Amino acid sequence: MEEINVGSVIGWVVLAALVIFVVVTLSKAVRVVPQSRSLVVERLGRYSRTMQAGLHFLIPFFDRVRAMVDLREQVVSFPPQPVITSDNLVVSIDTVIYFSVNEPKSAVYEIANYITGIEQLTVTTLRNVIGSMDLEQTLTSRDQINGQLRGVLDEATGRWGIRVNRVELKSIDPPQSVQGAMEQQMRAERDRRAAILTAEGVKQSQILTAEGEKQAAILRAEGSAQAAILTAEGESRAILQVFDAVHRGDADPKLLAYQYLQTLPKLAATPANKVWILPSELTGALGQLTSGFTGGFGGAGAPTASGDSADRPAGASPVRPEDLPTTALTDPAEALAEARRESQAATADATRAGTFSGRPNDPGAEAGQRPHRVEPEIDPENPLG
């Protein structure tokens, strides 16, 4: 019984080992390759083939997978590298490379680690490119640096089965002292631009202000000129009206002398006048006035041949009716109405024709005749009215 049990156990062990062998063999013989992957297969230690995505069979114990290669585009960021520029300044540059594997066989057999190779090649190429530029060119020529790095890396990695798509500089960090100097320079540049803009603004403001003042002065001058013209025209019309009224009233020298004497006290009416200078015409005016009052008498107030003072009653006027002029004063109300009508007519004529030769509505004005005046009857008892 014991011998049977030992034999059965050995049989079960052999069967289990056989099953395990079969499972391992099948697992090595059947391989499924994912999408965007490639398997490099060796047979007996030599390159056999490259398997793409899909189901593949291998010969167990003869074929083996050397490496699985990712065919997608890969992004590798390298740590900052110190680089010396042509003006002996050390800058720290951080780079990013975008590449993809085109030939898995070359990427596996031509280089041991293509990522490390790309990193070192990038560092050396970057130092060569930056070494021929100064700091200002390095900071302002990123596109040029990227193009040069991509050209060199693509040419060098072509035999590795790798294509470099893009090279980007993440950051370019100059020393702290240089950064401080650059900030001061930029601050000074901004201050200069601000000062220029402020000066331009002040200039434009002053120009606009001067133009406004010029236009205002021109307008004020034009207004003053028009006002002076209108004032002169008004004064001219007033003088013409007065002149025309005087001529229509047929003022004689006696009336003018009387008006002249009435004007003289106004010269001393102002308190500021300390000295009153009498004009030379005063004697002539007094003579005219005296002759007006003594026109019908002799020298010392004696009566002329026209009458005797002994015949006059006491308190009677020395002026006799026959000594009065041919015209006499009219009624004040009628004279005021007549003066208003004449003034309105003269104003209308002056506005239309610019002259005051007479009223067009008055009969006989065009013929140069004087308007008819009403001669009231003279009272013998009171010839002066």
Tokens (6 digits) for 379: 């009272």
Q: What is the pLDDT of residue 202?
A: 93
Q: Are residues 118 and 143 in the same domain?
A: yes
- Quick one: which H or E segment has residue 173? strand 162-173
Q: Are β-strands 74-77 and 63-70 bridged in parallel, bridged antiparallel, or unpaired?
A: unpaired
Nearby residues of 13 by Cβ (< 8 Å), 6 or more positions away: none
Q: Are residues 134 and 85 in the same domain?
A: yes
Is 294 domain-assigned?
A: no
For the chain, helix (H) and strand (E) counts, in that order, are 9, 9
Q: Are residues 46 and 90 in the same domain?
A: no
Q: In 13-158, which ranges are E strands?
A: 30-33, 37-43, 46-51, 54-57, 63-70, 74-77, 81-84, 90-101
Is 146 domain-assigned?
A: yes
CATH of the domain at 100: 3.30.479.30
Q: Are residues 92 and 143 in the same domain?
A: yes
Instruction: Answer with the one of 125, 153, 174 that is the final residue of a domain.
Output: 174
Q: 185-231 pLDDT, tens per residue?
A: 888 999 999 999 999 999 999 999 999 999 999 999 988 988 898 88
Q: Are residues 91 and 79 in the same domain?
A: yes
Q: 93, 94, 89, 84: which is closest to 177 by C-alpha?
A: 89
Task: Find residue 371's DSSP bridge partners.
Answer: none
Q: Are residues 59 and 124 in the same domain?
A: no
Q: Are residues 124 and 80 in the same domain?
A: yes
Nearby residues of 52 by Cβ (< 8 Å), 6 or more positions away: 33, 38
Q: 220-246 pLDDT, tens per residue?
A: 998 898 889 888 888 888 888 877 777
Count of domains forming the chain:
2
Contact 307, 316 (CB under 8 A): no
Query: Within 13 Å and on the Cβ side, how many CA atoms surround 55?
Result: 2
Q: Are residues 42 and 58 in the same domain?
A: yes
Q: Are residues 105 and 65 in the same domain?
A: no
Count of positions (residues) in the chain:
385
Is 109 domain-assigned?
A: yes
Q: 272-288 pLDDT, tens per residue?
A: 666 655 555 556 656 66
Is 14 domain-assigned?
A: yes
* Cα dihedral 58→61→66→70 (10° resolution): 30
Contact 76, 118 (CB under 8 A): yes
Phi, psi of 166 (to 5 degrees): -145, 150
Is 201 domain-assigned?
A: no
Nearby residues of 373 by Cβ (< 8 Å), 6 or more positions away: 327, 330
How distant is the alpha carbon of residue 196 from its chain centre? 16
pLDDT-derived band at 290 (thresholds 50, 70, 90) equals low
> Which tops the pLDDT comparison, 279 or 47?
47
Q: 147-189 pLDDT, tens per residue?
A: 888 888 888 888 899 998 888 888 888 888 787 888 888 889 9
Q: Are residues 55 and 6 in the same domain?
A: yes
Q: Is 4 helix (H, G, I), strand (E, B) or coil?
A: helix
Is 195 domain-assigned?
A: no
Is 82 domain-assigned?
A: yes
Query: For the residues of 192-240, what is the DSSP string, one character each?
Result: HHHHHHHHHHHHHHHHHHHHHHHHHHHHHHHHHHHHHHHHHHHHHHHHH
Q: How far apart are CA 231 and CA 237, in angstroms?
A: 10
Instruction: Answer with the one of 70, 103, 122 that is the final residue of a domain.
Output: 70
Nearby residues of 127 by Cβ (< 8 Å), 6 or more positions away: 81, 83, 84
Q: How far apart are CA 216 and CA 208, in angstroms?
A: 12
Is 238 domain-assigned?
A: no
Instruction: Answer with the one of 70, 101, 118 that is the final residue of a domain.
Output: 70
Residue 134 structural domain: 74-174
Highest mean predicted confidence (pLDDT) among 104-113, 133-142, 240-249, 255-264: 104-113
Contact 385, 329 (CB under 8 A): yes
> Which tops the pLDDT comparison, 200 or 15?
200
Task: Find residue 46's DSSP bridge partners.
Answer: 43
Q: 298-354 pLDDT, tens per residue?
A: 444 444 444 444 454 444 444 444 544 444 444 556 656 776 676 677 566 655 654
Q: Are residues 103 and 119 in the same domain?
A: yes
Q: Are residues 57 and 84 in the same domain?
A: no
